[in-house]
Chain A
């Protein structure tokens, strides 16, 4: 793959570059690869979203209507896995690709060919995940957490395909993280000290370390699962001296940092957007950096808060409760900083800002429900109920996914050279926010009232709220088609954006033309 076969432009200084399919397959350009990541993520978002609508269709009314219980479990599992590994994480990598070199004033990532590999590894993994639906026995059905013995018991090849897919995605993430860390630490424009980096770059630097530390742990858990399934080991089987709970410890040692992997870059995006539309600098830059680092470190000592019902000693429950509660301190600092950034600004509410403000507000609701869940006695009541489903959708959908949408509106003028349609963007925002809350807010109530998660059918007292949730979900799903339409429309033309479409924005990315040319910052700018 080192030489391009299609058009023979081996000279990389040349401004021509491969065209057609090879431009993408053999690409070593951070912008092209970023674009591919973003499209990939959007596709997977729709795919996993369609699965979610399958879930919500079945839950529209009590009784079994469309989906047999085995298949229902496959839907929830694949929905979760694909949203996490296929939609949210790749979207952030897409932003990292596009924006980090532009933000730190360098021409590309440190290892462009590795970058190509990171992306193209995603494709076989995605195919394995999606194809597992069609093999005999079907896709994984044990929840995205894949706890044994259930996932050892399931004889389907689909489970093995998923394990393989996650291994591949893990390699892709680790390679990508090494690339990002190397780029950030070595290739900043002269004068850009670490403490002058845009906050998005900071959050990605920290996220990349989290990825490198946590993905191998997942790989270990999955490998043990695989050998338990096929080679007679008994890591997770008490009959052979193993322990099913061991898997949960190892899994969540990965799993909790993983949730911060999905939210820290979103914090970075919000911290970039809010100052632009408040027309004043980010409040408490240094404390934002420290808070992000503190969250990252703490995220490695809270994992067992997912396991309060497994039966831990009192000391264990207390330790994990206190450490989890502690995370809300740096998280609170961030929220306060965002609001202080808005305070006494000169605020305008273009679509990216609307999304950012909504993220601050709705993510905080998710943070509060997280605090409720940190309190062990309350968690014991709420663990594995719809309350938890509400909690993590407030942090993942209205935290991560909506931050991503806002950032797309923010930078799409830079990517395409055209402004998006502001009134359509605002419509998309309001539809998404309203439908999101109709879908997920009632889940707090069903969870409190005692509805377990991962069930295809439920008792009659949950019927009303489930119907509301399902109506909201379909509205939410359909609203996202509008997002697709807006993105495509912007790519195809519109009002010219100019180098800097946002009045007072700072940052090196706004000093290059729009659309950003194929090569930028071949000679680094100087930062004062």
Chain B
């Protein structure tokens, strides 16, 4: 019975390896897309092979002993318990092997830390549970959040190819340029990690840390937050699109045009219906993680919007908490534009089970900043 269990478990295990040519059974680090990631890959292989070599040698001896020096084959114990020469030798040799590993590692560390002479800089801010990208000196900034539909997460829809590794607004960078990342966080610690770039750096609230990468190939590279940051830690991926310089320039000017259009939108007069409609999208993207898609919240930590004293009380108070935040509630001042803030206010007051009937214009939000 037990033997059979072991056997079938073993068989199941082996059968799973039988198909390991399938990409899904990835066994090793992802294909490097930067020089640093290539060095990391090489270092790992070097150390792995050294370890495998030592392992085979040492445990080869152990298994030799297990088969030859057993009582059942009549081996008599030889009573020795010291050999100073041997002991010195197996202390010295590992030191030499370690030095051989440390030398290339040291070179890579020094290279990784060199953030000088960057071609461009992007400020990245982690917050629960999204990444904000700010292209310094370019006036382009946006938020990047998970775009996998909740239905896929809750197994109500077929999962897509890039399940949990897709975002609405990827970071876009030009190929072959040294991109410096200035990293910080607004609430708790996060970590910005793109495996193919060999970059992982904690984002620490109140401090700015630097890292960099230079992608050699165009393409889309995916990573995830790598520091536990609360309930949706598994749901804040990073996607970087590396484009040819010309494509990147085109993308950049399109971003600038869109920002200008949004600014212009803030000055026009909006109807309630339009604001509520836009507000729904803003809410679902930014607020529903904490306050729930239906506005029910997760009391006591995250208050409900339905019937909330603030969201159905005076407009000033409602606007204030959204602009400036409070305790765990993030400040949205630098994250959302005037139109989006006016829209989400209109939505919260006139949907999610509330119907105060009032709303404010984007221009009023602009004035309140």
* A interface residues (Cβ-Cβ under 8 A, vs B): 62-65, 68-70, 73, 136-137, 141-143, 147, 149-150, 153, 155, 237-239, 243-245, 278-287, 309-311, 313-314, 317-318, 321-322, 325-326, 328-329, 332-333, 335-336, 339-349, 357, 360-361, 364-365, 368, 371-372, 375-378, 380-381, 383-385, 427, 430-431, 434-435, 438, 445, 448-450, 452, 454-461, 463-465, 468, 471, 475
A-B contact number at CB 8 A? 307
Given A150-B229, A346-B69, are A155 and B106 also a contact pair (CB < 8 Å)?
Answer: no
Q: How far is the CA of A325 from the CA of B105 in the complex (A)?
A: 12
Interface assignment of B39: CB less than 8 Å from any CB of chain A: yes
State which residues 70-96 of B face A: CB under 8 Å.
70-72, 75-83, 86-87, 90-91, 94-95
B71 touches A346 (CB 8 A): yes
Contact A459 to B231, CB < 8 A, known contacts A339-B62, A452-B226 = no
- A311 & B209 in contact (Cβ 8 Å cutoff): yes
Extra A-B contacts (12), CB below 8 Å, given A69-B235, A283-B80, A383-B226: A64-B155, A237-B206, A244-B204, A278-B69, A287-B87, A311-B204, A325-B98, A380-B199, A384-B200, A448-B44, A458-B234, A459-B163
Q: A346-B69, A381-B29 are in contact. Are A136 and B113 (CB under 8 A)?
A: no
Residues from chain B with a CB closer than 8 A to the CB of A143 are: 228
B132-157 with Cβ < 8 A to chain A: 152-155
Nearest-Cβ distance from residue A348 to partner chain B, whole angstroms = 5
B191 adjacent to chain A (CB < 8 Å): yes
Given the interface contacts A137-B300, A150-B188, A347-B70, does A339 sit within 8 Å of B65 by beta carbon? yes
Chain A proximity of B352: nearest CB distance (Å): 21
Pick the contact of A69 from B112, B198, B206, B231 — CB < 8 Å?
B231
- Give Cα distance in the complex from A340 to B187, angstroms: 54
Q: Are A448 and B28 in contact (CB under 8 A)?
A: yes
Check if B202 sits within 8 Å of A309, measured CB to CB: yes
B187 / chain A contacts, CB cutoff of 8 Å: 149, 153
Residue of A nearest to B165 (CB): A459
Within the complex, the shortest CB–CB distance from B110 to chain A, in Å, comes to: 6
- Which A residues are CB-close (under 8 A) to B62? 339, 342, 357, 360-361
Q: Does B108 contact A (CB under 8 A)?
A: yes
Say yes or no for B201: interface residue by CB 8 A criterion.
Answer: yes
Write out the residue numbers on chain B whose beta carbons fall within 8 Å of the beta carbon of A279: 71, 77
**Which of B30, B43, B77, B152 makes the CB contact (< 8 A) with A450?**
B30
Chain B residues contacting A365 (CB-CB under 8 Å) are 55
Closest A residue to B32 using CB positions = A381
Contact assessment for B226 and A153 in the assembled complex, using a CB-CB cutoff below 8 Å? no
Nearest-CB distance from A482 to chain B (Å)?
9
- Contact partner of B81 (CB less than 8 A), chosen from A281, A318, A457, is A281
| A309-B201, A322-B102, A381-B200 as given contacts; A73 in contact with B226, CB under 8 Å | no
A309 close to B200 (CB less than 8 A): yes
* B109 interface hit (Cβ, 8 Å): yes
Across the interface, B164 reaches (CB within 8 A) one of A329, A335, A346, A458, namely: A458
Segment of B10-18, B117-125, B259-267 in the binding face: B10-18
Q: Are A328 and B106 in contact (CB under 8 A)?
A: no
With both beta carbons as reference points, the residue of chain A lying nearest to B13 in the complex is identified as A438
Docked-complex contact B91 and A378, CB < 8 angstroms: no
Please pick, from A340, A371, A461, A465, the residue contacting B23 in the complex, using a CB distance under 8 A: A461
The listed residue (B69, B106, B205) touching A343 by CB distance below 8 A is B69
Q: Is the CB of B204 within 8 A of A245?
A: yes
Chain B hits for A149, CB < 8 A: 187-189, 205
Q: Are B189 and A244 neighbours in the complex by a CB distance under 8 Å?
A: yes
User: A63 — which chain B residues lie within 8 A by C-beta?
Assistant: 152-155, 159
Q: Is B250 an interface residue (CB 8 A)?
A: no
For B309, list chain A residues within 8 Å (CB).
none
Could you tell me how many residues of chain B have their Cβ less than 8 Å away from some Cβ of chain A? 107
What string of 1s and 0s marks CB contacts (under 8 Å) between B43-60 and chain A? 110011001001100110
A435 to B2, CA, bound (A): 13
Chain B, range 1-32, C-beta contacts under 8 Å to A: 2, 5-6, 9-10, 12-13, 16, 22-30
A348 and B72 contacting across the interface, CB-CB below 8 Å: yes
A447 CA to B292 CA, complexed, in Å: 32
Cα distance A361–B61 in the bound complex, in angstroms: 12
User: Could you tell me the distance in whole angstroms from the C-beta of B47 to the nearest C-beta in chain A?
Assistant: 5
Whether A325 touches B101, Cβ cut-off 8 Å, given contacts A244-B189, A318-B109, A364-B55, is yes
- The answer to whether the Cβ of B272 comes within 8 Å of any Cβ in the partner chain is no
Given the complex of chains A and B, what is the CA–CA distance between A431 and B37 in angstroms?
A: 39
Query: Given A63-B154, A339-B58, A438-B9 in contact, is the A347-B75 Cβ separation under 8 Å?
Result: yes
Which residues of A lie under 8 Å from residue B9 when comparing CB positions?
A: 434-435, 438, 471, 475
- Bound state CA distance, A382 and B54, in angstroms? 22
Chain A residues contacting B22 (CB-CB under 8 Å) are 464
Give the complex CA separation of A375 and B209 in angstroms.
Answer: 21
Report B351 CB to chain A, min CB distance, Å: 25
- Determine if A343 and B40 form an interchain contact, defined as CB atoms under 8 angstroms apart: no
Give the residue among A311, A376, A377 with the most B Cβ atoms within 10 A: A377
Q: What separation, in Å, do the CA atoms of A357 and B26 have in the docked complex?
A: 31
- A314–B113 touching, CB < 8 Å: yes
**Interface membership of B66, Cβ < 8 A:** yes
Q: Is the CB of A314 within 8 A of B110?
A: yes
**Known contacts A238-B205, A285-B81, A377-B39; is-contact A309 B226 (Cβ 8 Å):** yes
CB pair A372 B51 closer than 8 Å:
yes
- Output the nearest chain A residue to B101 by Cβ-Cβ distance: A375
10 inter-chain pairs at a CB distance below 8 angstroms, sorted by A residue, are: A69-B235, A73-B233, A147-B228, A150-B228, A283-B80, A284-B83, A345-B69, A346-B70, A357-B66, A375-B44
- Find out whether the CB atom of A283 lies under 8 angstroms from the CB atom of B81: yes
Q: B241 within 8 Å of A by Cβ? A: no
- Beyond A136-B300, A449-B26, whether A460 also contacts B198 by CB under 8 A is no
The answer to whether B165 and A471 have CB atoms under 8 Å apart is no
Q: Shortest CB–CB separation between residue A383 and chain B, in angstroms?
A: 7
Let me know if A449 and B205 touch, CB within 8 A: no
